[in-house]
Structure 1
Amino acid sequence: MTKKRPFKLAFASLVVLSMLMVGFRIATYEEPRISLENYTIEDGFQLSVLASESLLKAPVSMDFDNQGRMWVVEMISYMPNLEGIGEEEPTGKISILEDLDKDGVADHAKVFLDKLILPRGLAHVYGGLLYIDGPKLWFVEIKNDKPGKKTLVDPVYAEGGNVEHSSNGLMMNIDNWIYNANYNFRYQLRNGKWIKEPTSARGQWGITKDNFGRLYYNNNSVNLQGDFVLPNKVIRNRYFKPSVAENKRLASNTVYPIHQTSVNRGYQPGVLDEKGFLKEVTAACGPLVYRGGVFPEAYTQNAFVCVPEANLIKRNVLHFNGFQTTASQAIEGKEFIASTDEGFRPVNLFTGPDGAMYIVDMHRGIIQHKAYISQYLAEQLASKKLDTLQNAGRILKVTSKAIKPNPVPDLSKASSTQLVAFLSHPNGWLRDRAQQLLIQKKDLSVVSQLIKLTKATNSFSTDIHALYVLEGLNALSFESLSDLVNQSKNPELIAHAVGLLERFATMQHVAKMKAVSTQLLAQNNQTVDLYLSMSLTPWLNLSEATFLPFLAEIDKKYANEKIFQEAITSGLGGKEEVYLASMNPTDLLKKNLTVAITNRQKKELNSIFVTEKNAVDNRTKGLKLFRSICATCHGADGKGIQDLAPPLNESEYINGSTRRLASIILHGISGPIHVNGKLYQLNNEMPALINNKEISDQDIADIIQFTQSAFAKVGKGISANEVKKMRDKKPAGTGIHTEKQLLEDDFDK
């Protein structure tokens, strides 16, 4: 339902005039009037609709420009039907949403980019837009809300994998690096060139950060994961993969929906409770550590998580315990937002320039991809007609009833001095964007103001923001950093600063760095000790005798702390044998160093240093093979095609032995056959794949894996080795199966 919103006369005249001048078609604006009565939200908060269809379709991500306008990624072609046919069509868009009558609801949309293939993310960085189109990562300049010069940043950014497991995120962190979910690389534009370097692989869909710069993420079956340390600090040793410091599960996976849930494996024991309610997350995504500053203090740096399969959003309270982070359910038995509207599909969360929390609601029936969707879920969706809920989408806004959102400043007009002031703002979005705009301006006149801010301690990490503006302006030196490290009382600032000192590692600075390290150890602070141990690598390359004793002291001080032993192992990359021979390591460290030495001898690198692109999972490979080989006769939906092939859906040959199914695929079948009690008099033989040298045993296993997921009542697996056994077990006679042989042979012997 919609309502027409008349303009005030004077404002309308200006809008119409401007539209005529730039060639826009004049239209009567209509805004949504959508009921949120079947949504519950935690006491003290309110939920509103900012934008909805027909202004946008299938939104999956968003960002705000420097004027505070919403830019939305629309992944329109995702699962257009239960068969997923048409998904590769270039129908995706990036649109700019505007509120021309200034009433708080978007009433106009203009397309910035269209004809995109499954776009999944965007980010306003470096004065332009970083975005994903198919497998490629692009950067485009923005000229009067129109795309300008395009630069290909990474041709294989999202190559491989399924759309549910393709790279996304594009989040600028406080360290001036752009991080991703589901990809083991980070990016930075430096001196006009795009830099791509390995980082740890994190999560599945969505990525977020806290004020310190630690990263948080999740995957479909894990509510919240995170790193205990800053990114790229504990992976310095290429032959050692940390297991304690990164990729840690932080919270319970328990979920509390307010209605019966249709989920992919709902038929499996333990997925639903006795009432049919989901027990644990199965599609968790889009986490957000809230840093907006306009929620009550107890909500600051809470981790919110989207749970679209259960139509809700979780709130996790983060607990920072020394060098470890944990999270707990905010209110036991109750979620922050929950709805009985099965079209509510929150997939991403963001803090806005006003400090409010923004929800990207894909608002559709099907969110499970064809490669994984079970027959059980397909039937559930069809029975509720959720497969017909297409071409919708919403952006929702969460605000506190007690604290009004901040006015949205126009940062595109802000002076350098004003931007420096925003580094102390309670809203993390404003701090982050001010940091990046100051770097882009290259205005060295504010350096003295920034240096002053590096000595200001507050809960907003203002000092760290200022430090990285200086880094981006190339305004740091060994002397300025060492002075800052010696004078600062903030361990978190020191953690960042001691890492930045690495780029000034030269012989002329060795003696001074020794003095800095001595002073830092004297602080007897866990955070300082941890980051010092991870930052001595380039100094060790200059003087082992000077800096190995510092690591030995930290080793003995934290002999039973695994995270410290991983940190030291990272810092000792390439120096393991020297340390073992001269420093008498503790047992935990000795074990780690031995692992690293063995891996180096075997040339077994941490996988992040050898993986260039995401691998295609077996079921996605199986789907592609099925469509190219099997769907021509059996139909993309597995329902069969008249006079060509019987249905696979609910077939006893799909629900039965997977070895028998492998044998059918390998050797073919001829003659009449009964399927689901119906006789099919087929004129043609089903072709055998046994002599097709391009189809491997693993390919056939993948095809079967897909059919089990898509068409079987209860999916079963099969290995490539089992397929091979069926390859060697040819049917008697012609070598092609008949129905009689299929029924009489015991394929599982």
Structure 2
Amino acid sequence: MKYCRSTVFFGALILLFSNCKPSYEEPQIALDSYKVEEGFELEVVASEPFLKAPVTIDFDDQGRIWVAQMPGYMNDMQGSDETAPVGSIDILEDLDNDGVVDHAKTFLDSLVMPRALAHVYGGLLYSEPPFLYFVEIKDDKPVNRVVVDSIYAVEGNPEHQPNGLMMNLDNWLYNAKSNFRYRRVKGVWKKEATTFRGQWGISHDNFGRLYFNDNSRQLLGDHVLPNVLVKNKYYSPKYGVNRMLTDDQRVYPVHATTVNRGYAKGVLNQDSILVKATAACAPLVYRGGAFPEAYDENVFVCIPEGNLIKRNLLTFTGDSTIAKQAYEGREFLTSTDEGFRPVNLNNGPDGSMYITDMHRGMIGHHAYLSPYLKKKVAVNKLDTLINFGRILRVKKVGQPHEAVRNFSEMNTKQLIALLKDKNGWVRDRAQQQLIYRNQKDAIEGLEELLEDGQNPIAQIHALYTLEGLDALSYDLLAKAARSGAADLTAHALVLLPPFVTKTNTDQTETLVTELLNKNNVTIDLYLSSIIGNLVAQDESRFLSVMEKLSTKYVNKPIFTEALVSGITGGEEDLQTAMASGNPKLAEAMATSATKRKEDKVNPIFARKSLVEDTRTSGAKMFYEICASCHGVNGQGIEGLAPPLMGSEHVANTERLGLIILHGLEGPITVKGEQYNLNLAMPGLIRNEDISNKDIADIISYVTNAFSDQPKRLKIDKIEELRQTKPKSGTEYTEQELLDYSKK
């Protein structure tokens, strides 16, 4: 009996301990319908029930995933729950360290459409429209929340509001669908104008150039570092920023696709397969260092409407970047699962590429849904595919799972060493850790790394870590500019102007001469961008350099933009003094001088708070439906839509009504310039939720805001225009519009 009692006792004890073990439940998701490029494997990192409509992620210093979720987005075709406080930011944990999420806890809940987040400055920066907030983190709880920007993302629909919050090498946070950048210096938040970029998602390469896209142009980018070409507020560059890096928009889904404008000619092929991108988003420059070398700085792009991820190859020259698709007729990652909706990509702490899969039937906003798509959605029951979400990981076959390093526990020496790591995520995080901690004891080690010519990428990180620590000097920058690496010289030149004074102009003249003699395109481009600043310091020393650069690159418009960007005034005097035979530069300087006199700044510096313009329903609808392509200031967005400001088509109210109702196909001429657009503009006639009064309100606002002839059409006239169909039965052409105006 004693033996039996002992057996029962120990059995009960074992059962008790087994029940006290932590539960590591990891949902199993089949990936049979997915195919990834040979040599890679796809894994599920997290899924429901931990996720419901994830839209973006970031990693904290421990390597944990933080995810913003939008379960209120498009739960039905009417977007009924869009303003419901059901969004959240959650922390995903892998407690058994096997690479798969097994626990989740909520950091913030009851949010309305949270759309961006970033781990910076020891806390969390996040957006809940219209606000941009920063909160400190204590025991995984938010404390001391402050408003960074009260108008970060105002008005408009969720598809077309600022997002991204990507920290670049220059210590500024950049956004897509925005013309502002942010940083915190000595506890004070700064907000500056920058070039307007993209729609959803933003990335950077090892040099610090930015990449973005929009629905129909799968890869856009800047040829130069941020803000280099917009220093002159009275000049607007066109050739160096916001450029289409490839004109190849073809996509190769592996099954028939349900897309919004599938009824339009050329959108689908005879097998109902998507031909070109219509909802491209979230480009990512791969910098993880764990893929084969051929994949370094490739750009991957999400194509959620085609259930695939595209791969692009970049080619860098001294003054431009060119992209081409890696494959013809196939993609890097495809799926026959129509619920696969990749909406964001991230480099991870382990070198893998992470995919945020919203896994939702409908991802297009209800404001744009066509009757064609509504019918398809109903037939395929895509509107019932809600409350799902996945985070997937792409890694090289055989890549071992490794525990992530805890950056918050590292000392200064360890962090400096990580600036040389092969993984760009690791380098970026080490840089920001040193800056956030204000590690002044790192300065000596950083200066030593800055001289390490064997690792030019690490040198750039060291330079900007010193910048973030307020430890730059003229001598240090001049020394960096003389280094053998042209990329480091370019960055040193960008940072140099504030340190140039009358006491060191002799040294600067010698430095400039040395750099000119290198005859390097990259160096010449960034020298061009600051030479105007130097001329302002001492015209007798540096005007001849401006003339040399102008003449040498007379046929390169980006150099003209760089030269004009550095000019801070006195354009007319400079034109008189210069003997350069560069008519393009003379024209650009004259334009800048005229705008300076009239105080007409580059629109990125003049953007008004949208809150001021929401007093009419027309303004609200314009921001929700039209501003995403035409711009909030009516200046248009290159490659997407022409300007409305001063357009003859806006001045003719009935013609404007036809365009709004029925749409526009093919090229259109505005103020003498022809615009060839990638996709036809869809008309609002197919949106059953938009009434004739709504159309009249939009016309009233547009004509008041962007023309000298404000006018409102009567409701019965709107109905008449609604019945005036174009010949094709779909969109009007410019010629048809002109013919109608002659009647």
Query: Could you say which TM-score interval applies, normalised by the shorter chain?
Result: 0.7 to 0.9
Coordinate RMSD, CA, aligned: 2.9
SS at structure 2 position matched to 1:364: coil
SS at structure 2 position matched to 1:551: helix
Aligned AA (1:397):
R
User: For residue 708 of structure 1, what is the aligned residue in structure 2?
Assistant: 686
User: For residue 27 of structure 2, what is the aligned residue in structure 1?
Assistant: 32
CA distance in 1 between partners of 2:443 and 2:155 (Å):
44
Would you say the 8 A contact 2:253–2:334 is kept in 1? yes
| Number of equivalent positions | 639
User: For residue 735 of structure 2, what is the aligned residue in structure 1?
Assistant: none
Residue 426 of structure 1 deviates from its aligned partner by 0.4
1:320 to 303, 316, 319: 316
Would you say the 8 A contact 1:705–1:717 is kept in 2? no
With over 3 angstroms needed to count, the CA separation of the structure-2 counterparts of 1:175 and 1:14, relative to structure 1, is farther
Would you say the 8 A contact 2:55–2:68 is kept in 1? yes
User: For residue 415 of structure 1, what is the aligned residue in structure 2?
Assistant: 411
Residue 350 of structure 1 deviates from its aligned partner by 0.1
Residue 126 of structure 1 deviates from its aligned partner by 0.7
1:233 to 228, 234, 258: 228
Aligned AA (1:621):
M
User: For residue 42 of structure 1, what is the aligned residue in structure 2?
Assistant: 37
Residues 553-594 of structure 1, C-alpha deviations (whole Å, 9 max, x = no match)? 111111111111111111123132122101123122112112
User: For residue 217 of structure 2, what is the aligned residue in structure 1?
Assistant: 222
Would you say the 8 A contact 1:370–1:710 is kept in 2? no
User: For residue 131 of structure 1, what is the aligned residue in structure 2?
Assistant: 126
SS at structure 2 position matched to 1:601: helix
Within 5 A, what are the aligned runs for 1:423-438? Answer: 423-438=419-434
CA distance in 2 between partners of 1:541 and 1:115 (Å):
53
With over 3 angstroms needed to count, the CA separation of the structure-2 counterparts of 1:540 and 1:608, relative to structure 1, is same
SS at structure 1 position matched to 2:393: strand
User: For residue 349 of structure 2, what is the aligned residue in structure 1?
Assistant: 353
Residues 470-497 of structure 1, C-alpha deviations (whole Å, 9 max, x = no match)? 11111111112112222x1011111111
Residues 212-262 of structure 1, C-alpha deviations (whole Å, 9 max, x = no match)? 000000001110000000000011111111110011101211100001111
SS at structure 2 position matched to 1:295: coil
User: For residue 384 of structure 1, what is the aligned residue in structure 2?
Assistant: 380
SS at structure 2 position matched to 1:30: coil
Residues 701-746 of structure 1, C-alpha deviations (whole Å, 9 max, x = no match)? xxx964533469xxx9995589845469799xxxxxxxxxxxxxxx
Residues 659-705 of structure 1, C-alpha deviations (whole Å, 9 max, x = no match)? 8x99xxxxxxxxxxxxxxxxxxxxxxxxxxxxxxxxxxxxxxxxx96
CA distance in 2 between partners of 1:284 and 1:556 (Å):
40
2:251 to 250, 255, 274: 255
Residues 382-438 of structure 1, C-alpha deviations (whole Å, 9 max, x = no match)? 111110111110000000015446542111111110101100000000000000001
CA distance in 1 between partners of 2:25 and 2:367 (Å):
38
Would you say the 8 A contact 2:530–2:563 is kept in 1? no
User: For residue 743 of structure 1, what is the aligned residue in structure 2?
Assistant: none
Q: Is 1:462 matched with 2:440?
A: no
Would you say the 8 A contact 1:294–1:406 is kept in 2? no
User: For residue 342 of structure 1, what is the aligned residue in structure 2?
Assistant: 338
User: For residue 212 of structure 1, what is the aligned residue in structure 2?
Assistant: 207
CA distance in 1 between partners of 2:259 and 2:717 (Å):
39
1:511 to 502, 506, 523: 506
CA distance in 2 between partners of 1:129 and 1:548 (Å):
47
User: For residue 491 of structure 2, what is the aligned residue in structure 1?
Assistant: 496
SS at structure 1 position matched to 2:153: coil
SS at structure 2 position matched to 1:338: strand
CA distance in 2 between partners of 1:330 and 1:549 (Å):
44
Residues 486-525 of structure 1, C-alpha deviations (whole Å, 9 max, x = no match)? 2x10111111111211221322222222222112112111
Residue 102 of structure 1 deviates from its aligned partner by 2.1
Residue 533 of structure 1 deviates from its aligned partner by 1.2
Q: Is 1:145 matched with 2:123?
A: no
With over 3 angstroms needed to count, the CA separation of the structure-2 counterparts of 1:406 and 1:298, relative to structure 1, is farther
Residue 32 of structure 1 deviates from its aligned partner by 1.5
With over 3 angstroms needed to count, the CA separation of the structure-2 counterparts of 1:658 and 1:146, relative to structure 1, is same
Which has the larger displacement, 28-37 or 606-615? Answer: 606-615
CA distance in 2 between partners of 1:575 and 1:433 (Å):
42
Residue 439 of structure 1 deviates from its aligned partner by 1.1
Residue 603 of structure 1 deviates from its aligned partner by 2.6
SS at structure 1 position matched to 2:262: coil
Would you say the 8 A contact 1:505–1:538 is kept in 2? no
Would you say the 8 A contact 1:235–1:242 is kept in 2? yes
Would you say the 8 A contact 1:309–1:345 is kept in 2? yes
**Larger radius of gyration between Structure 1 and Structure 2:** 1
Aligned AA (1:303):
V
Would you say the 8 A contact 1:116–1:134 is kept in 2? no
Give aligned-pair identity as a percent.
48
With over 3 angstroms needed to count, the CA separation of the structure-2 counterparts of 1:729 and 1:565, relative to structure 1, is closer
Residues 244-297 of structure 1, C-alpha deviations (whole Å, 9 max, x = no match)? 001110121110000111111110001111111111100000110000000000
Aligned AA (1:71):
W
Q: Is 1:557 matched with 2:572?
A: no
Aligned AA (1:141):
E
User: For residue 574 of structure 1, what is the aligned residue in structure 2?
Assistant: 569
Would you say the 8 A contact 1:619–1:706 is kept in 2? no
1:272 to 268, 274, 277: 268
Which has the larger displacement, 180-189 or 405-414? Answer: 405-414
Aligned AA (1:135):
P
SS at structure 1 position matched to 2:89: strand
Q: Is 1:244 matched with 2:222?
A: no
Q: Is 1:621 matched with 2:621?
A: yes
Aligned AA (2:175):
N
SS at structure 2 position matched to 1:378: helix
Residue 442 of structure 1 deviates from its aligned partner by 2.0
Question: Please, which runs of 5 or more residues in structure 2 have no aligned partner?
Answer: 1-12, 626-655, 662-681, 704-709, 720-739
CA distance in 1 between partners of 2:459 and 2:359 (Å):
40
CA distance in 1 between partners of 2:609 and 2:313 (Å):
34
Question: Please, which runs of 5 or more residues in structure 1 have no aligned partner?
Answer: 1-8, 18-25, 626-656, 663-703, 732-746
Within 5 A, what are the aligned runs for 1:602-621? Answer: 602-613=598-609, 621=621
Residues 600-650 of structure 1, C-alpha deviations (whole Å, 9 max, x = no match)? 23332110000145688979717989xxxxxxxxxxxxxxxxxxxxxxxxx
Aligned AA (1:597):
A
SS at structure 2 position matched to 1:536: helix
CA distance in 1 between partners of 2:19 and 2:108 (Å):
23
TM-score computed with the length of structure 1 as normaliser = 0.81
Would you say the 8 A contact 2:132–2:152 is kept in 1? yes
CA distance in 2 between partners of 1:185 and 1:233 (Å):
14
2:90 to 78, 95, 117: 95
CA distance in 1 between partners of 2:153 and 2:338 (Å):
29
CA distance in 2 between partners of 1:272 and 1:371 (Å):
22
CA distance in 2 between partners of 1:325 and 1:729 (Å):
49
CA distance in 2 between partners of 1:240 and 1:303 (Å):
30
Aligned AA (1:709):
N
SS at structure 2 position matched to 1:204: coil
CA distance in 2 between partners of 1:234 and 1:63 (Å):
30
Would you say the 8 A contact 1:371–1:619 is kept in 2? no
Which has the larger displacement, 147-156 or 401-410? Answer: 401-410
